[in-house]
Chains A and B, each alone.
Chain A
Amino acid sequence: MQPQRLPAGGRIDRSKPISFRFDGRKLEGYAGDTLASALLANGVSIVGRSFKLRRPRGIVGSGAEEPNAIMQIGKGAHAQPNLRATQVELYNGLVARTTKGWPGARFDIGAINDLFGKVFSAGFYYKTFMRPKSWWRLYERIIRASAGFGRAPTEKDPDRYEHRNAHCDVLVAGGGPAGLAAALVAGQAGARVILADAQNEFGGSLLGTKHSIGDARADEWIARTVEQLAALDNVTLLPRSTVFGYYDHNFLAIAERCTDHLPEEERTGVRQRLWRVRAKQVVLAQGAFERPLAFCNNDRPGVMLASAVSRYIRRYAVRPGKRAVVFTNNDSAYETAIDLAEAGAAVVIVDSRMGGAGSVAERAANAGISMLTGHIVTDVVGRRRVRGVRVAGWSGNPSYLVESSIRIECDLLAMSGGWSPAVHLHSQAGGSNEWDTDRLCFVPGAATQANVSAGACNGMWSLRDCLREGMESGRAAASRCGFDAADVDLPTTRQGHDNPPQPLWRVPADAEPERCPKQFLDFQNDTSVADIRLAVREGYRNVEHVKRYTALGFGTDQGKLGNIIGMAVLAECLGKSIPEVGTTTFRPAFTPVSFGVGAGENVGDLYDPVRKTAIHEWHVAAGAPMENVGQWHRPWYFPRDGEDLHAAVARECLAARQSLGIMDASTLGKIDARGRDVVEFLERVYTHNVGKMKVGRCAYGIMLGEDGMVLDDGVMARLGEEHFYLTTTTGGAANVLAWLESWLQTEWPELEVFLTSLTDHFSTIAVVGPNSRKVLEKVGCSIDLGKDGFPFMTVKEAELGGYPVQLFRVSFSGELAFEINIDSGYALAMWETVMAAGEEYGITPYGTESMHVLRAEKGFVIVGQDTDGSVTPVDLGMNWLLSKDKDYLGKRSLARPDCVRSDRKQLVGLLSSDNSTVLPEGTQLVEVPDAPVPVPMCGHVTSSYMSACLGHPIALALVAGGRVRKGETVYAAMPGREPLPVTIAAPVFYDPKGERQHV
């Protein structure tokens, strides 16, 4: 029951019937079919609706240029939206859905839009949905719903995708006659070759044709060539693989569809693979695209590209119509007419050229085909299917109106507006294109990378020229890689066509384009000749602007069908030549690629590495939720008995202030710096006087960028005369190391300094609170931990509980505190030891949230939270850290006029007037609460918490000129509520004299 299937021929396997579903209908095709050929065999003529006007649309092409047959393929989580039916291989159980039209493509309610087609002109959305402005959200929802193509599955993608890197001497893109010839010559010369072709079998346009090559038929020649290639170890054959991107330095991307052609239950392994290929030489042989012609109603189902009609007949044994008109401006479509006649169709050729075709006309006449030369098809009759065409005589003058006096009944119109080489990859690589006035197409100009175009891709239409260019380019590419190719005789093939094409883009009609039925250029986006003319009338001149205004070339086919004729129409409107107007930019991807293949293996756990501290599992076992800090997973808080964040944090903070807390600070960046010139080096990168530090002393240090802005901060310690230990923020560790290395290597290579990252090798446990000394003494420490023996801001090597440690008397909480630096292998044991010893003091582990509260109570900033790259140390009130005795990075910038303004935003504390509101971080501060919009802002909140030990909320903020405004009131603007008065205070809320850490 395949009414349009021919009884014999084609490259389909009639012994393997295949059943599939199309919009719920059960249909049958054969192995070797594409979804498109099977639909045509079944007589399906409407496969979708156009984007804006919802006109019924049929299959136009046979490959990547197809604008209408855009389908949702597959079931459930395996489904892929927006595939071109012309490129989908048929398999048993395939489920295809049309993606446009509701309730379906055959009957679509939106088709009413077509009745108002005049309204839906270029720029319709821009012009219509502007007012009232507040309605845009509503408009957007409706437009988005009606604009839908396919639907992405909502389930997690169950399939595997993979990335693979490859290198080769010669990459051949496209496996038609030119590509096969190039790959064979280069491969036999010994070059490492990758041959990639988008289709399931190699051969390209040759497949199923009657050509003879030497003593072989086309299909035999293909089979023999592929066999020869497969026998070569140095050749990789990639069928079902689209070279979709040509990037810098001969880097190309190939999407290989490994299992998409198999029934879903038979698929195993990788579904799609991304090949990332660095090629020494590239041969581009991706062929050419046939162009449509812009006559009235040229989008009706049953209007197809002539080459597609030939391909369906020859390769798939499907005859898309019984009574056909072939409308052409060139010789190639005569072959289609002959194919149709041989398939038993009645055929009339309408050739716009007065002189008609060359030698092929004689063959057409012999096949009993009638020919009308000097005529054009002006209009199509029939709405859901072509029923006939109107034809007029034409002298060749594009501006004349004509009179359509002839009507021909038909159910198929095969059109050919000439051919355009697929210059996409050549252009992506940076190559220019040149307009060829004889062949009427853009051909590749000079290449900017190591690539050459061969065959139809280079504007060569005859099989002989394609084979010749393939062989020559293969040999040249191999030779440039150092391989000598043997001479190969060019096989004999039939002559090419001889009469040149005629310039014909917009086909004259009985009325001006604005007054006749639409002449479509971009079928998917409903861009017509009248739209281009309107855009020009409204002042658009540049092709890129016209593209964006009219949506020409914006569809999933990216203009492969209609762009060139669209540009030709634009040129005509502007009174310019086509090369003067030029093309829009060709960008990757050549055809759409799936998100899956783009992501490859980088999903789930492999998306981004997770860094865990040596004590991580203890935190997990304790039930701590994790906070992501860069790639680190850090415990956020340690809830007990169903506590929420606020309750837990309040308890943790009070424990640290009143008795004993413990925190895993292992994520601190740690850098070991040593060497003859380490003091000189650190003097140049830190703002304080490093040289004055005695061995065993610690200091808080900040680094500035050369622009004077705070880059990072941390405690640094002098471990020896020429040995320092630097800590950085958790997030800044890698950047700071890179920053220091860059200065050592590029600016001060004379300095002998060695930097080593110790971040992962050492773990850091902060023991915090009035009882911290007691607990360490209880654990057993080899040194005197007393106030005088081990004073604040010093470091000592020690043995603690039997473990060698580096002990720091530093504090990020303002309490008496110790930081234990210990080899990460011992970290968990040390943690558990301290936990056990601290039980009698109610030792309380705390996470990042309590750490933040404790430090904010003390006014300690977090670089990256309270600063944002526009904050100087002066803004933070850190003048005391800035040495006047030396130069350091960024120092000069602090004297720039902008850095000494008195109204710069400065760090202050904020107190909520209601004593209860915790201001959201990021809250904007304003001077006058009821000022007219836009309200000038005077600052913003950077840190904000409820302080359990103070009993009220605290906040840090950056406020313009804030340091001298203590006690003044500003207003916190919060969405959905009245601005809240807040009082500016000093940024240190707790123990401002710092007495608690000095005990």
Chain B
Amino acid sequence: MLLIECPWCGERAETEFSYGGEAGIARPADPDALGDAEWADYLFNRSNPRGAHRELWNHAQGCRRWFGVERDTVTYRISGSFRLSGGVGKRED
């Protein structure tokens, strides 16, 4: 069971969190301007890397804040958590 650091609450067990997929996928500003392939890329395609992966987690059973985590998809080692900010995108700073 992963030990995840919520930037607001500190380290907590994985069971307190829910997973939100890859970070940094911003919603297109004007979806209607996109072709089907581009929209499908936003909708369905993820990088699914072997190794470092920046992803979204929600402290669902705690403060309910969303934040980012960088996790290695092979070793599951977490190198750090980060807050989301800036005002645009399901993305990091």
Q: Which residues of A does B touch, CB under 8 Å? A: 247-251, 276, 278, 430, 448, 706-707, 738, 741-742, 745-747, 749-750, 887, 891-893, 895-897
Q: Is the CB of B66 within 8 A of A745?
A: yes
Q: Is the CB of B2 within 8 A of A249?
A: yes
Closest to A744 in B: B66
Out of A430, A448, A746, A895, name the residue touching B90 (CB < 8 Å).
Answer: A746
Q: Is the CB of B39 within 8 A of A896?
A: yes
Q: For residues 1 through 37 of chain B, which have their beta carbon under 8 Å from a beta carbon of chain A?
A: 1-3, 13-14, 18, 20, 26-27, 30-32, 34, 36
Out of B13, B27, B43, B64, name the residue touching A747 (CB < 8 Å).
Answer: B27
Chain A nearest CB, measured from B8 CB (Å) = 12
Q: How far is the CA of A2 from the CA of B30 in the complex (A)?
A: 87
- A249 with B90: in contact, given A742-B58, A891-B31, A897-B36 (CB under 8 Å)? no
Q: Is the CB of B2 within 8 A of A746?
A: no
- A747 with B1: in contact, given A741-B64, A893-B39 (CB under 8 Å)? no
Some 13 contacts from A to B, beta carbons below 8 A apart, are: A248-B2, A430-B75, A738-B18, A746-B20, A746-B84, A746-B90, A747-B88, A749-B85, A749-B87, A887-B31, A892-B32, A892-B39, A896-B39
Closest to B88 in A: A747
Q: Is the CB of A278 within 8 A of B3?
A: yes
Q: How far is the CA of A891 from the CA of B27 in the complex (A)?
A: 13
Q: Is the CB of A896 within 8 A of B3?
A: no
Contact residues in B for A895 (Cβ distance below 8 Å) = 36
Closest to B44 in A: A707
Chain A nearest CB, measured from B77 CB (Å) = 8
Q: Is the CB of B31 within 8 A of A742?
A: no
- A746 with B3: in contact, given A249-B76, A892-B31 (CB under 8 Å)? no
Q: B56 within 8 Å of A by Cβ?
A: yes
Closest to A252 in B: B1
Out of A741, A746, A891, name the residue touching B56 (CB < 8 Å).
Answer: A746
Chain A nearest CB, measured from B85 CB (Å) = 7
Q: Is the CB of B36 within 8 A of A747?
A: no
Which 6 pairs of residues, A with B, have the shortest CB-CB distance? Answer: A892-B31, A249-B3, A746-B90, A745-B66, A251-B1, A750-B87
Task: Known pairs A248-B76, A745-B66, A893-B43; list 6 more (Cβ under 8 Å).
Answer: A248-B2, A249-B1, A251-B3, A278-B3, A707-B43, A742-B58
Q: Is the CB of B34 within 8 A of A892?
A: yes
Q: How far is the CA of A892 from the CA of B40 in the complex (A)?
A: 10
Q: How far is the CA of A741 from the CA of B86 in the complex (A)?
A: 17
Closest to B56 in A: A746
- Which residue, A741, A742, A892, has most C-beta atoms of chain B within 10 A? A892
Q: How far is the CA of A745 from the CA of B86 in the complex (A)?
A: 11
Chain B nearest CB, measured from A884 CB (Å) = 11
Q: How far is the CA of A892 from the CA of B90 in the complex (A)?
A: 18
Q: How far is the CA of A741 from the CA of B90 in the complex (A)?
A: 12
Q: How far is the CA of A585 from the CA of B14 in the complex (A)?
A: 24
Q: How far is the CA of A749 from the CA of B66 in the complex (A)?
A: 11
Chain A nearest CB, measured from B37 CB (Å) = 10
Out of A251, A706, A745, A750, name the residue touching B65 (CB < 8 Å).
Answer: A745
Q: How far is the CA of A420 from the CA of B31 in the complex (A)?
A: 61
- A747 with B76: in contact, given A248-B1, A738-B60 (CB under 8 Å)? no
Contact residues in A for B32 (Cβ distance below 8 Å) = 887, 891-892
Residues 79-93 of chain B, each 1 if its beta carbon lies under 8 Å from chain A, else 0 = 000001111111100
Interface residues on B, range: 35 or more
Q: For residues 54 through 72 of chain B, which have their beta carbon under 8 Å from a beta carbon of chain A?
A: 56, 58, 60, 64-66
Contact residues in B for A892 (Cβ distance below 8 Å) = 31-32, 34, 39
Chain B nearest CB, measured from A593 CB (Å) = 16
Contact residues in A for B31 (Cβ distance below 8 Å) = 887, 891-892
Q: How far is the CA of A891 from the CA of B60 in the complex (A)?
A: 28
Q: How far is the CA of A260 from the CA of B20 in the complex (A)?
A: 43
Closest to A705 in B: B43
Contact residues in B for A893 (Cβ distance below 8 Å) = 39, 43
Q: Is the CB of A738 within 8 A of B58?
A: yes
Out of A249, A278, A896, name the residue touching B36 (CB < 8 Å).
Answer: A896
Contact residues in A for B75 (Cβ distance below 8 Å) = 430, 448
Closest to A896 in B: B36
Q: How far is the CA of A738 from the CA of B32 in the complex (A)?
A: 26
Q: Is the CB of B90 within 8 A of A747?
A: yes
Q: Is the CB of B2 within 8 A of A747?
A: no
Q: How far is the CA of A721 from the CA of B19 in the complex (A)?
A: 35
Q: How far is the CA of A887 from the CA of B29 in the complex (A)?
A: 10
Chain A nearest CB, measured from B18 CB (Å) = 8
Q: Is the CB of A745 within 8 A of B84?
A: yes
Chain B nearest CB, measured from A639 CB (Å) = 40
Contact residues in B for A897 (Cβ distance below 8 Å) = 36
Contact residues in B for A248 (Cβ distance below 8 Å) = 1-3, 14, 76
Closest to B75 in A: A448
Q: Is the CB of A747 within 8 A of B89?
A: yes
Q: How far is the CA of A706 from the CA of B65 in the complex (A)?
A: 21
Contact residues in B for A278 (Cβ distance below 8 Å) = 3, 13
Contact residues in A for B85 (Cβ distance below 8 Å) = 749
Chain B nearest CB, measured from A166 CB (Å) = 12
Q: How far is the CA of A738 from the CA of B58 in the complex (A)?
A: 9
Closest to A742 in B: B66
Q: How far is the CA of A247 from the CA of B76 in the complex (A)?
A: 11
Q: How far is the CA of A968 from the CA of B32 in the complex (A)?
A: 37
Q: Is the CB of B58 within 8 A of A247?
A: no
Contact residues in A for B14 (Cβ distance below 8 Å) = 248
Q: Is the CB of B66 within 8 A of A746?
A: yes
Contact residues in B for A745 (Cβ distance below 8 Å) = 65-66, 84
- Which residue, A249, A750, A891, has most C-beta atoms of chain B within 10 A? A249
Q: How far is the CA of A430 from the CA of B73 in the complex (A)?
A: 13
- A706 with B64: in contact, given A746-B56, A892-B34 (CB under 8 Å)? no
Q: How far is the CA of A750 from the CA of B75 in the complex (A)?
A: 36
Q: Is the CB of B60 within 8 A of A706?
A: no
Q: How far is the CA of A276 from the CA of B13 in the complex (A)?
A: 11
Contact residues in B for A448 (Cβ distance below 8 Å) = 75, 77
Closest to B91 in A: A746
Chain A nearest CB, measured from B44 CB (Å) = 8
Closest to A708 in B: B43
Closest to A250 in B: B3
Contact residues in B for A276 (Cβ distance below 8 Å) = 1
Chain B nearest CB, measured from A275 CB (Å) = 13
Out of A247, A706, A742, A891, name the residue touching B43 (CB < 8 Å).
Answer: A706
Contact residues in A for B20 (Cβ distance below 8 Å) = 742, 746
Q: How far is the CA of A683 from the CA of B10 in the complex (A)?
A: 35
Closest to A749 in B: B87
Q: How far is the CA of A747 from the CA of B60 in the complex (A)?
A: 17
Closest to A748 in B: B87
- Which residue, A249, A742, A746, has most C-beta atoms of chain B within 10 A? A746
Q: How far is the CA of A303 from the CA of B93 in the complex (A)?
A: 67
Chain B nearest CB, measured from A426 CB (Å) = 15
Q: How far is the CA of A887 from the CA of B34 in the complex (A)?
A: 13
Q: How far is the CA of A107 from the CA of B14 in the complex (A)?
A: 52
Closest to A249 in B: B3
Contact residues in A for B34 (Cβ distance below 8 Å) = 892
Q: How far is the CA of A891 from the CA of B43 in the complex (A)?
A: 12
Q: How far is the CA of A746 from the CA of B93 in the complex (A)?
A: 11
Chain B nearest CB, measured from A599 CB (Å) = 16
Closest to B68 in A: A746
Chain A nearest CB, measured from B60 CB (Å) = 7
Q: Is the CB of A749 within 8 A of B84?
A: yes
Chain A nearest CB, measured from B51 CB (Å) = 14
Q: How far is the CA of A892 from the CA of B91 in the complex (A)?
A: 21
Contact residues in B for A896 (Cβ distance below 8 Å) = 36, 39-40
Closest to A734 in B: B60
Contact residues in B for A750 (Cβ distance below 8 Å) = 87
Contact residues in A for B56 (Cβ distance below 8 Å) = 746
Chain B nearest CB, measured from A12 CB (Å) = 41
Q: How far is the CA of A278 from the CA of B13 in the complex (A)?
A: 9
Contact residues in A for B43 (Cβ distance below 8 Å) = 706-707, 893
- Which residue, A430, A747, A749, has most C-beta atoms of chain B within 10 A? A747
Chain B nearest CB, measured from A732 CB (Å) = 16
